Amino acid sequence: TVAHEGILRRQSLRESAARTYARSLPIVPVRARGLTIEGADGRRYLDCLSGAGTLALGHNHPVVLEAIKKVIDSGAPLHVLDLATPVKDAFTTELFATLPPGLAADARVQFCGPAGTDAVEAALKLVRTATGRSGLLTFTGAYHGMTAGALDASGGAQDVRVTRLPYPYDYRCPFGTGGARGAALAARWTRSLLDDPKGGVPRPAGMILEPVQGEGGVIPAPDDWLRGMREITAARQIPLIADEVQTGVGRTGAFWAVEHSGIVPDVMVMSKAIGGSLPLAVIVYRAELDTWRPGAHAGTFRGNQLAMAAGAATLRYVRENGLAERAGTLGERMLARLRALAAEYPVIGDVRGRGLMIGVELVDPEGQSAAPAGADPATDPADGGAERDPAPAAPALAAAVQQECLRRGLIVEVGGRHSAVVRLLPPLTLTDEQAVAVLDRFADALAAAVA
Ligand code: PMP
């Protein structure tokens, strides 16, 4: 316990104030296995943050450890820039075996810097190079990373070349309708903006979207809307980039989340779970886009050998054990129980998700509507506008629920546009019993937070 407190104190003094997770989760993990993390003070936690969705197989899964040990024991080099190695060959083979059929036939892979944001940068650069155009279509509430280009592609985009479009957020629908109609209006907005000869945007280099917005508050895009975006971009020769950094590797109930809608993007951005706990990021794209000159995209750390070995083992395990399907069915059951909880608690404004990517949006049921009276959603759906549900978001309550969860040995994340969405991203190896334990603790925490 003394070590635990000393470490927390020293880190809070020495580390930048920009620390993120460490501020809301004052624990010092020293051991972990599967769903469980053990702190330096001996306390144990069920980890439903999973390294922000990285740990598809939970902590220290035996097949991942085995794969890492095998590389180390073999005497293989741990770093050889982007040279071809047996480890890389095995990873690429495994990755290509997971691709949606429409892409697998004619795909190229580019290994990027170690993080998701590096792969996003590469994707943006690729489509700009291939099309010779510079504009970019992105969506309200999007999150693509923290480096300059990825940041511009995210919800609060500033770059003048970036055009933000409405994402179909059923609960806080920018058109005030929600449902299929809200999604259809969002698609229509996009179509008319591109085709407007006067006020519209010039043909952009690409469109980037998350099939389920993660950091934006776990907002699954309807399949019809995704098909609409595919149709709109294909008709205008605009490459479509699917950011599957968080949704990939089985999390949403399909190996890649785009498979639910059947769309085939031109570029897929992958990171987090593909490295089996270690940093790894790639883009996979139609060979036709591979127009950049040799050396046009470089970097020292691309495709770490240990990460590729851990990643290949993870991809194989998820595929061979049907963990995507498992995430889909278990996720549905967890959502059903959370919806039952919502019926009891008016502070739960919305329960949503896909597979084991789950969000519970907390609201102030008595608060005044955040929607400006008389707002015309048609004039600017991306910036506020009328919201279908008038209950304002409750970020303080979400923070309190997170703390009550922690007190009960459960780690959850809080995110969303108003920081009021409690997020669950458990490993895909979650057992039925563990799922019940997680939801029991969550229900207790919620009861304590509203008491
Ligand atoms: N894209 C998406 C959809 C993400 O969720 C994230 C990270 N949460 C990123 C990109 C950026 O990844 P990284 O933090 O590894 O840079």
Q: Please check the confidence at residue 422 and state whether its pLDDT lies above 60.
A: yes
- Distance (angstroms) between ligand 1 centre and the Cα of 450 equals 32
Over residues 376-397, the mean pLDDT reads: 63
Over residues 15-19, the mean pLDDT reads: 91
* ipTM of this predicted structure: 0.99
Over residues 48-76, the mean pLDDT reads: 98
Considering Cα of 264, then 207, then 142, then 276, what sign does the dihedral take? positive
- Distance (angstroms) between ligand 1 centre and the Cα of 151 equals 10
Among 280, 274, 305, which residue's Cα sits nearest to residue 57? 274
How would residue 201 be classed by pLDDT, with cut points 50, 70 and 90? Answer: confident
Give the domain ranges of the chain: 80-320
How would residue 192 be classed by pLDDT, with cut points 50, 70 and 90? Answer: very high
* pLDDT value at residue 197: 80
Which residue from 144, 209, 213, 278 has its CB within 8 A of the most atoms of ligand 1, so it is best to mutate? 144
Q: Whose CA is nearest to atom 7 of ligand 1?
A: 145
- Distance (angstroms) between ligand 1 centre and the Cα of 64 equals 22
* pLDDT value at residue 377: 44
**Mode of pairing for the β-strands spanning 240-243 and 107-111:** unpaired
Closest atom of ligand 1 to 246 CA is 5
Strand partners, 99: none
- Distance (angstroms) between ligand 1 centre and the Cα of 179 equals 27
- Distance (angstroms) between ligand 1 centre and the Cα of 372 equals 32
> Could you tell me if 343 and 351 are in contact, meaning their C-beta atoms sit under 8 angstroms apart?
no
Lowest-pLDDT choice from 155-159, 298-302, 317-321? 155-159
Percent of residues, the chain, with pLDDT higher than 90 = 87
Which residue from 49, 117, 219, 301 has its CB within 8 A of the most atoms of ligand 1, so it is best to mutate? 117
Closest atom of ligand 1 to 115 CA is 15
> Which amino acid is located at 48 in the chain?
C
Q: Please check the confidence at residue 226 and state whether its pLDDT lies above 50.
A: yes
Count CA within 13 A, CB hemisphere, residue 308.
31
- Distance (angstroms) between ligand 1 centre and the Cα of 18 equals 17
* pLDDT value at residue 40: 95
- Distance (angstroms) between ligand 1 centre and the Cα of 337 equals 29
> Could you tell me if 409 and 368 are in contact, meaning their C-beta atoms sit under 8 angstroms apart?
no
Over residues 81-91, the mean pLDDT reads: 97
- The residue whose two tokens read 């190996």 is 255
Tokens of 5: 């407190």
Q: Please check the confidence at residue 372 and state whether its pLDDT lies above 50.
A: no
Tell me the pLDDT of the chain averaged across its residues: 93
* pLDDT value at residue 1: 74
How would residue 155 be classed by pLDDT, with cut points 50, 70 and 90? Answer: confident
Give the architecture (CATH level 2) of 80-320.
3-Layer(aba) Sandwich (3.40)
Lowest-pLDDT choice from 152-156, 184-188, 236-240? 152-156
pLDDT tens, 340-367? 999 999 999 999 999 999 999 999 999 8
> Could you tell me if 208 and 154 are in contact, meaning their C-beta atoms sit under 8 angstroms apart?
no
Q: Please check the confidence at residue 379 and state whether its pLDDT lies above 80.
A: no
Which residue from 143, 241, 414 has its CB within 8 A of the most atoms of ligand 1, so it is best to mutate? 143
Query: Residue ranges of the alpha helices (H) in 258-417?
Result: 305-320, 323-344, 395-407
Over residues 97-106, the mean pLDDT reads: 94
- Distance (angstroms) between ligand 1 centre and the Cα of 117 equals 6
Q: Which residue has the higher pLDDT, 105 or 309?
A: 309
Q: Whose CA is nearest to atom 12 of ligand 1?
A: 116
Residues with CB under 6 A from ligand 1: 52, 115-117, 120, 143-145, 210, 214-215, 243, 245-246, 271
Q: Please check the confidence at residue 288 and state whether its pLDDT lies above 50.
A: yes
Strand partners, 242: 209, 268
Closest atom of ligand 1 to 117 CA is 16
How would residue 389 be classed by pLDDT, with cut points 50, 70 and 90? Answer: low
* pLDDT value at residue 384: 41
* pLDDT value at residue 387: 47
* pLDDT value at residue 370: 56
Closest atom of ligand 1 to 52 CA is 8
> Could you tell me if 248 and 87 are in contact, meaning their C-beta atoms sit under 8 angstroms apart?
no
- Distance (angstroms) between ligand 1 centre and the Cα of 354 equals 18
Q: Please check the confidence at residue 166 and state whether its pLDDT lies above 70.
A: yes
Closest atom of ligand 1 to 215 CA is 5
- Distance (angstroms) between ligand 1 centre and the Cα of 168 equals 20
- Distance (angstroms) between ligand 1 centre and the Cα of 368 equals 33
* pLDDT value at residue 390: 63
pLDDT tens, 111-138? 998 999 999 999 999 999 999 999 999 9
Which residue from 151, 243, 252, 271 has its CB within 8 A of the most atoms of ligand 1, so it is best to mutate? 271
Over residues 416-442, the mean pLDDT reads: 98
Count the Cβ atoms, other than its own, within 10 Å of residue 393. Answer: 24
The pTM of this model reads: 0.95
Which residue from 20, 245, 274 has its CB within 8 A of the most atoms of ligand 1, so it is best to mutate? 245
**Mode of pairing for the β-strands spanning 136-139 and 162-165:** parallel
